[in-house]
Amino acid sequence: MVGLDEARHSLKADIAVRTEKLNLWYGTFQALFDVDFSVKRGIVTSLIGPSGCGKSTLLRCVNRINERFGYVRTEGKVDVLGHDIYAPQVDLTQVRSRVGMVFQRPNPLPVSVRKNILFAYQLHHGKQSSKAEADTIVEKALRDVLLWDDVKDRLDRLATGLSLEQQQKLCIARLLPVKPEVLLMDEPCSALDPKATETVEELIWNLRGDYTILIVTHNMAQARRASDECAFMLMGEMMEHRRTEDLFLTPTHQKTADYIEGRYG
């Protein structure tokens, strides 16, 4: 039985996230229509489309953060690593330890840099056994996001006092100690200036391989230069999903072509 399960798992191992016939309503407004979408493991996939097309909603289905609103209804299937995360026995805390999320506006918690990093770790593992262990976790996470040299002398200062760029990197760093599989990013650079955007994009590109990254962006240049695959959504439907360069060079849908050429948005 276990063998069979593992075999099935390895077959699907190249897919990190798969949605099937995913429909979602905010009250009576339908935001997603039968979305079938697969995200390959270990690469960066970007989601583009005009405002209100459902790309953020789709992203938010993957860690079930939509549900905090009582009026959201979801139908269909979302598999993460081959397991349906909407199944009744699924524990939300476990989902969120495997699927991390980075928000549009950097939202470090109003505690020290160190506590920001340790917060999620302690939620999922209890208190770490020693200060040395905590220090190792903090340093590793901050090094992974290229922030260690900037903040190593102010680990005990409030994280909300960092620059926006550093805050956003910290928001990525705090996800890493719990070893997530998927990182969801909802326009992670839209609050940053061009220089900061560049360094955060580089960081995202560096994390590729170790993590599966799904990124929503309004910035088509960003999708083009910093993603392996790209999906275009319109009015709650998945229009097309291909390798990024193919999508931008030879879009199959007229709507996609119009959007990426900036004829609407």
Partner 1 sequence: MFLATELNLQNYKVQGRWRLLFLVMTVLLILPVLVILTLLVVRGGGAISWEFLSEFPRNGMTEGGIFPAFLGTIFLVSLALVFSVPLGIAAAIYLSEYAADNWLTRAINLAIINLAGVPSIVHALFGVGAFVLFFKFGTSILAASLTLAIMALPVVIVATRESLQSVPQAFREACWSLGATRWQTIRRIVLPNAISGILTGIILEVSRTAGETAPIMFTGAAFFLPFLPESVYDQTMALSLHLFVVSTQVPNVPENLPYGVALLLIGIVLTMNALSIGFRVYLRNKKKW
Residue number, 134 or 239, with CB nearest to partner 1: 134
What backbone phi and psi angles, to 5 degrees, belong to 88?
-60, -30
Cα separation, 61 vs 182, whole angstroms: 13
CB of 173 to partner 1, least distance (A): 12
Residue number, 120 or 260, with CB nearest to partner 1: 120
CB of 82 to partner 1, least distance (A): 20
CB of 181 to partner 1, least distance (A): 14
Cα separation, 169 vs 180, whole angstroms: 16
CB of 248 to partner 1, least distance (A): 30
Residue number, 91 or 149, with CB nearest to partner 1: 91
CB of 129 to partner 1, least distance (A): 20
What backbone phi and psi angles, to 5 degrees, belong to 217?
-145, 150
**Beta strands 72-80; 15-26: pairing state:** antiparallel
Residue number, 101 or 142, with CB nearest to partner 1: 101
Q: Which of 259, 206, 202 is nearest to 230 (CA)?
A: 259
Residue number, 81 or 175, with CB nearest to partner 1: 175
CB of 137 to partner 1, least distance (A): 14
Number of H helices, E strands in the chain: 11, 10
Residue number, 103 or 205, with CB nearest to partner 1: 103
Within 8 A by CB and 6+ apart from 171, the residues are 102, 103, 106, 107, 108
Cα separation, 208 vs 228, whole angstroms: 10
Q: Which chain residues interact with partner 1 by CB under 8 A? A: 63, 65, 68, 70, 92-97, 100-101, 103, 105, 107-111, 119-120, 123-124, 158, 160-161, 171, 174-175, 178
Cα separation, 3 vs 68, whole angstroms: 37
- Find the helix or strand (DSSP H, E) in which 232 lies: strand 229-234
